[in-house]
C-alpha cells in the first residue's frame, strides 16, 4: 500500500470514528433511541392535531430528527466519497499499467 492510500485509509478511519451515531452521543442504545423518537413523534402528532399543547416534546422531536438526519447524511456522503476515491485510484492504477504496456511495445 502506497503512502497516499495509507493516508486516505487513516483519514477515513478517523472520520468514521468521529461520526458517532446520535444514540451513542446520548449514551443509549439504538433501540432506545428509536423508541424515544417514536414517542416524541406521537407527541408531535398530538400537538399538531390539537390533542396536546406539550411543546417540549415537539422541540425534542425536532432536535432528535435533525441529529439523526445529519448523522445519516454524513455517513452516506462519507461512503460515497470513499467509493469515488477508490474508483479513481483503481482507474489511475489501470491507466498507469496500460501506459507501461504501450511503452513496452
Q: In this predicted model, what pLDDT tens digit does every residue of 11-68 receive, in sequence order?
A: 888 888 888 899 999 999 999 999 998 988 888 888 889 888 877 778 888 889 999 9
* The Cα angle at residue 34 between residues 75 and 44, in degrees rounded to 5: 110
Domain total in the chain: 1
* Structural domain contains residue 105: no
- Quickly list DSSP for 54-69: -HHHHHHHHHHHHHHH
Is there a domain that residue 66 lies in?
A: yes
User: Domain span at residue 82?
Assistant: 3-98
Amino acid at each position: 500500500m502506497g503512502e497516499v492510500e495509507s493516508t486516505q485509509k487513516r483519514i477515513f478511519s478517523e472520520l468514521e470514528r468521529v461520526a458517532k451515531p446520535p444514540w451513542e452521543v446520548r449514551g443509549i442504545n439504538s433501540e432506545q433511541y428509536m423508541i424515544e423518537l417514536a414517542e416524541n413523534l406521537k407527541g408531535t402528532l398530538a400537538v399538531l392535531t390539537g390533542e396536546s399543547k406539550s411543546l417540549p416534546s415537539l422541540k425534542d422531536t425536532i432536535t432528535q430528527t435533525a441529529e439523526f438526519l445529519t448523522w445519516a447524511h454524513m455517513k452516506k456522503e462519507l461512503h460515497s466519497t470513499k467509493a469515488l476515491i477508490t474508483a479513481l485510484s483503481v482507474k489511475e492504477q489501470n491507466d498507469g499499467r496500460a501506459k507501461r504496456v504501450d511503452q513496452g511495445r
